[in-house]
Amino acid sequence: MWVRCVAGTDEVRLAHRPATVVTHRLEGDFPGGVVVLDCRFTLADEVMVSLVIAP
């Protein structure tokens, strides 16, 4: 079992294209118990063209 909450959002600029970063905090019964993940995505013509999920 785990619980997720959105810890924040931010607008950044990557390679001449605006991107959005959504930070998630996960807590659960997995090794370490807590992880904070940044989900960074970019859009082009309202379509997601890239998604990177990293600690």
Note the pLDDT tens digit of each residue in 9-49: 999 987 778 899 999 999 999 999 999 999 999 988 889 99
For residue 34, the model assigns a pLDDT of 96
Give mean pLDDT, residues 3-10. 92
In 3D space, the residue among 50, 26, 21, 51 whose CA is nearest the CA of residue 38 turns out to be 21
- pLDDT computed for residue 13 by the predictor: 87
pLDDT in the model for residue 1: 85
Beta bridge partners of 18: 13
The answer to pTM > 0.85 is no
pLDDT of residue 2: 85
Structural domain boundaries in the chain:
2-54
